[in-house]
Structures are given as C-alpha cells and as structure tokens.
Amino acid sequence: MSARNECKELLARYATARIPFIALHTVERARALHLLKETAEEIAQPFYIHTLSKGVYDLTTEKVLCDDKSVYGAIDFMGEQMKHRANLTLVLTEIPDLSSDTSDARQLLDLVTLANETGGQIIVLTASAVWNRLQRLGLALCLPLPDEEEMEQIVRGYIDDYRREIAVEWDAADIREAASILSGVTAIEAENVMAALVAKRSIRKEDMDEVRTAKDRLFSDISGLEKITVDAGACDVGGLAGLTEWLGEKRLLFTAEKRSILREKGLKSPRGILLVGVPGCGKSLSAKAISANWKLPLYRLDFATVQGSYVGQTEQQLRDALMTAENVAPCILWIDEIEKGLSGAGSSNDGGVSTRMVGQFLFWLQECRKQVFVVATANDVSMLPSELLRRGRFDELFFVDLPTADERYDILRLYMRKYLELDFAGAFADTLVAMTDGFTGADLESTVRDLAYRVIANPDFTLHEENLRTAFGNVVPLSETAPEKIAAIRDWGRERAVPASGRPIGSETALRKSTETRTRKVLV
C-alpha cells in the first residue's frame, strides 16, 4: 500500500469516528483536497471546504455556502451552523500560524470545542507544528510527498494522455526510472517537469537527463547541502581497481528492476562507503567519479555549515540537511573529511553537540530508506569516532594507498592526454613511472597541470623529456616528508579496511625518508 493510500485509510477512519480535530500535515494543498474529496465520497459524508478564493463550499458538489472569503468569516459561519446541526465537517486550507498560544489558535480551539459537543469535525491543512493544547483535542496525520509507486502512476498517467499525439520512446522501465528520479518532489512539480517534456512534442530516451536536471534546479538552494557540478571527464579515475569493481556491482542495485527485487526481499539500497587513507590519493575524486558514472547528482554535506549558535540548532540543521538529501534522492551524498565534523564526539568541550551529531547521523544512516549513497572520506583516522567504524554502518571501508606502478601509469596517461594531449607510452613512460614512486595522485596531477600552464603561457617553451624529468624531479612527495604518518595510517588500514587498489596495503610502494639535498631546477 502506498503512503498516500495509508493516509487516506486513516483519514476515513478518523472522519467516521468523528475525531473533533485533525491536523493534516502537508505542503500540497491540491493533492490533499483531492484526497479529502475521495474520502468524503467513500464515507458518504459532506466536507465543507474554506479557501481564500471561494469561501466555504461543499467539496463534492462545489456549491458555495458562504461567500465570506476570510478565515474568521468561515469560523464564524461554521460556528453558527454547528449550533443548529450535528456532524458537520469543516476543512480549513489557509489557517494562520497555530504553533503557539495565539488569538487565532484560541479562536480555533473554541470552534473545535463546539465541534466536539455537536459531533462536528475540524480538519486543518498545515505545514507546521500545532499548539499542544489544540492538538490534544484530536489527532494528526501526515500526507507525505509521493513515493516511487505513486510517482510512477503520475508519470505514466501523464504520458498515456499524450501517446497518440506525440512520439514517446519511453517504455515501462523508463517510466519507473523517471519516477525514481522524481521521488521527493511534489505532484505538481512532477507534472510540471512532464509538461515541459511534452511541450517538445516528443519524449526521447535521452530526455531522462533533462528530468534529472529539472529536479536539480528544484533543489538548487539547499541549506547545509552544496550541489556539486560534475563534468563527464570525472568518470575517469586512474587505478583503484578494487574499489571500481566493487562499485560496478553496486551500481546495478540502483536500477529500477533491482530496486523492485530489493523491496520484495525487504532489503535497503546500498548505504555507502567510507574512504580512508593517504591524503591526495583520490578519495574526493572518487566521489565525483561515482556521481558521473552512476549519472546521479552529487551533493556535498559540510558539517561546518550546519553548526548553530543556539542549543539544539546544530542538530536541527543537520536533520534538515539529511531530510533534504532524502528528498533529492536518488543521489550521491559526499561528506569530505568527515572526521573534522565529528571529531569532538565524547568530549565535553562543545557541550555534547558532536556526540549528538554522531548519534543522529548514524541513526539516519541506519534507517534511511531512500536511495542516498553516502561517500565519506577521512584523512586522519585517529579522529574518527569508533561508532562510525562498526561493521554495518557503511557497506564497506576502503583504504586508498599511494598509487602502485600500474596505477601511476594510468594516472599519468590520463592527465598527459587530458592536459598536454600526449600519448604516454614507451620506455620514457616507464622511466617516469619509476621516478614517481611514492607520489600521490595529487602530486602527479599537479605536476602535469603545471607543465600545461607553462606550455599555454609560453609559446616558445619546448616540452621534451628533460623538462618532464626535471618537473617530476622537483617534487618532494608526502611519502618522503612524512613517512611515519603514512606508515601509521597503513598499519591502521591493514587491520580494518579493504585495499581500494585490490592489492595488499603498502605491498608495492615503499616509504623512505628524504636524506638527499634537493635543488629545484628551472625548466628551459
């Protein structure tokens, strides 16, 4: 049963039981009114609706009963009616703030009290909390945003209406995919997206990218989440064969067919991965690569932006950001350097805020049912809370080590082609690979990028083997400046993580402390 039908069933029961006050929490008035109309017809009871445009009217017959369009006029009208008639139901669609003890809330409280005496009923559509004293006179309902099942009906219904008029290439699988993408938006927003496609007079397979883009625009300004633009070139990541193979398998679970099987078996979609290891070796780049390969939007959660000044504000802002991530699902949620946001757990220095954030995040990670794939990265593993590392939090914990010879070859070939338009092969390529033992991926990219800057800025500059050798010889890698730090990280990773390269951690790249005096050379 869809979430909408569950809400409808409860509403029918509450209406039949004559609960004097029902708070229907929703942000979709039109969808809520349609639900109310179905309920009224099903239980054969009239529902009187008040809107600012029409006043009070019968929801089924649309006959206007009171042309006073103000909320207070509707309350006064129904108050007089309830004094002489029993079992009346009034639905208020535009009610002032009811979250606290105000004159508006007290006026409505008086009407609800009268309804309770006469078998009447007041239903309020609201998107905010309700004053406790008022809420205790009734029950609350929530009409959630359309789930994937309901969204599929919306998309299919819209397309079927135009199949005879325009060219439609989408089949059942495409409709399910579009429904999955649009889950988390309102019914009207989904219909607007589909209307924009129909206006092109055709719906093609490639229009699925437009559906993704349209949803991104709807959530372009999100507090706590930053939308990251990922270009097609981000698909290519040198090395990390073990991680790439694992992700390739998990990617299949995000298809519409596999999602249906997961639901049937009561399984959730993959939660995500935690990437730890040596700084500059591709952890952050991997998040962008996953987004590009899976064709899912990438959102970055920055714990610093959810920090608040008041008690409970930080936790609330984190809750809002995570809820928004569910609304934009399916998506990739990237948490860069997660240890910096959660490192204070267990300490009293921040009043327990970090501890509560860890608990809140882990609870969400455990209970989230939406297709939000988390990619968390960490450099300083010593700062990670132990609760985060327990088996079952993430699907897998990967260790990203210094690139092996094969990985360095792949990385150099990638950036040589991208920045310098050079074919990286032959004996000299092998020489550079050997020279760069102990380099991070960032070291390799920045060196090639600096060469590209030089070529673009100076037309007289000649790129030859000696200059390439000099450019890489000028680099002092992290493996030489901080070998003890990398050794400690590796020791930790061997016991707790899976190597992202697919090879044993530290098996091919030795650490050595720099003892020679280096003199940087100028490229000529």
Put residue 414 in one of left, alpha, beta given phi > 0 → left and psi -120 to 50 → alpha: alpha
Q: Is residue 205 part of a domain?
A: yes
Give the C-alpha separation, 294 to 253, whole Å: 11
CB neighbour list of residue 213: distance below 8 Å, 6 or more residues apart: none
Q: Do 239 and 386 sit in the same domain of this protein?
A: yes
Which residues in the chain come in under a pLDDT of 70? Answer: 1, 220-224, 232-235, 307-312, 343-351, 508-524
The values of phi and psi at residue 376, to 5°, are -105, 140
Q: Do 283 and 394 sit in the same domain of this protein?
A: yes
- Structurally, the chain folds into a number of domains equal to 4
Q: Do 122 and 153 sit in the same domain of this protein?
A: no
Q: Do 368 and 442 sit in the same domain of this protein?
A: no
What DSSP state is assigned to residue 428?
Answer: H
Q: Is residue 225 part of a domain?
A: no
Q: Do 412 and 524 sit in the same domain of this protein?
A: yes
Counting every residue written for the chain, the total comes to: 524
Q: Do 391 and 423 sit in the same domain of this protein?
A: no
* 33: CATH: 3.40.50.300
Give the C-alpha separation, 376 to 274, whole Å: 5
Q: Is residue 223 part of a domain?
A: no
Among 199, 193, 194, 239, which residue's Cα sits nearest to residue 216?
Answer: 193
Q: Is residue 296 part of a domain?
A: yes
* Paired tokens of 385: 């809370």
Contact in structure between 354 and 304 (CB atoms under 8 Å): no
In terms of C-beta distances under 8 Å and separation of at least 24 residues, what long-range contacts does 449-455 make, across chains too?
Answer: 449/415, 449/419, 451/419, 451/420, 451/523, 452/419, 452/420, 454/523, 455/420
Q: Is residue 176 part of a domain?
A: yes
The confidence score (pLDDT) of residue 10 equals 95
* 415: CATH: 1.10.8
Q: Do 259 and 385 sit in the same domain of this protein?
A: yes
Contact in structure between 324 and 333 (CB atoms under 8 Å): no
The confidence score (pLDDT) of residue 108 equals 94
Domain boundary among 358, 381, 400: 400
Q: Is residue 389 part of a domain?
A: yes
Q: Do 393 and 349 sit in the same domain of this protein?
A: yes
Contact in structure between 238 and 414 (CB atoms under 8 Å): yes
Contact in structure between 170 and 135 (CB atoms under 8 Å): no
Q: 339-392, pLDDT tens digit by residue?
A: 877 765 555 556 677 788 888 888 898 888 888 999 999 888 778 788 888 777
The confidence score (pLDDT) of residue 515 equals 52
Write the CA distances from 239 to 327, 375, 397, 406, 506, integer angstroms: 33, 18, 17, 7, 15
Give the C-alpha separation, 470 to 431, whole Å: 12
CB neighbour list of residue 425: distance below 8 Å, 6 or more residues apart: 413
> DSSP H helical segments within 170-255, as ranges?
172-182, 187-198, 208-218, 241-251
Q: Do 195 and 248 sit in the same domain of this protein?
A: no
Among 94, 371, 420, which residue's Cα sits nearest to residue 260?
Answer: 371
Q: Do 349 and 471 sit in the same domain of this protein?
A: no
Domain boundary among 142, 160, 193: 142
Q: Do 455 and 328 sit in the same domain of this protein?
A: no
Q: Do 88 and 172 sit in the same domain of this protein?
A: no
Q: Is residue 51 part of a domain?
A: yes
CB neighbour list of residue 246: distance below 8 Å, 6 or more residues apart: 396, 398, 498
Contact in structure between 447 and 408 (CB atoms under 8 Å): no
Domain boundary among 195, 218, 241: 218
Q: For 246, what's the count of Cα atoms within 13 Å in the CB-facing half-sphere? A: 17
Return the beta strands (E) in 52-126 as ranges.
55-58, 64-66, 89-92, 121-126
CB neighbours (10 Å) of residue 31? 18
* Domain with 204 in it: 148-218
Among 55, 52, 50, 59, which residue's Cα sits nearest to residue 67?
Answer: 55
Q: Is residue 101 part of a domain?
A: yes
What DSSP state is assigned to residue 183?
Answer: B
The confidence score (pLDDT) of residue 191 equals 92
